[in-house]
Amino acid sequence: MARIRVIFESGEPERVIEFDPARAPFQHDGKPGSILDVLLAHGIALEHACGGNCACTTCHVIIKGGGEKLSPSDDSEDDLLDKAPGLTPTSRLGCQAVVEDPDAEIVVLVPRYTINQISGHGG
Ligand code: FES
């Protein structure tokens, strides 16, 4: 099983998600097996204004560990990331970064503004 540990800049309790990448897609937004795909399927409302089509920056996440286990970014992702608020050297678009390794251990930081405030607000 692959594992994603999700840390929230907003201070919400972290989550650990275990899943089998071979079973992707898990829902209908983003690349199959992408961080967006996995998080949405596990009740984490990562923003995805363009529907996971690599056309916005709302799904921006920061990879804190295991980044080498993700699919590499392409030019269109890199171009968009250049415009993402709070860009870091390990930033990715959640809808484009696919977990391919069945034993991957990924640590993802979700920036504060990346969570949908309506469904994600926990006080
Ligand atoms: S949801 Fe728009 S680029 Fe990922």
Measured from the CB, is residue 95 less than 6 Å from ligand 1?
yes
Answer for the pair 108, 5: CB distance below 8 angstroms, yes or no. Answer: yes
Task: Assess whether the previous peptide bond of 111 is cis (omega < 30° from 0).
Answer: no
Q: What is the pLDDT of residue 52?
A: 98
Q: What is the pLDDT of residue 112?
A: 86
Measured from the CB, is residue 76 less than 6 Å from ligand 1?
no
Q: What is the pLDDT of residue 115?
A: 63
Residue 121 Cα, ligand 1 centroid: separation in angstroms? 21
Q: What is the pLDDT along the chain (123 residues), one digit of tens a residue?
A: 999 999 999 999 999 999 999 999 999 999 999 999 999 999 999 999 999 999 999 999 999 999 999 999 999 999 999 999 899 999 999 999 999 999 999 999 999 876 655 444 443
Nearest CA to ligand 1 atom 3: 54
Predicted TM-score (pTM) of the model is 0.92
In this structure, what token pair is assigned to residue 18? Answer: 């275990």
| Nearest CA-CA partner of 94 in 117, 122, 115 | 115
| Nearest CA-CA partner of 15 in 100, 120, 92 | 120
Query: Where are the strands (E) in the chain, listed by range?
Result: 2-8, 15-19, 60-65, 91-93, 105-110
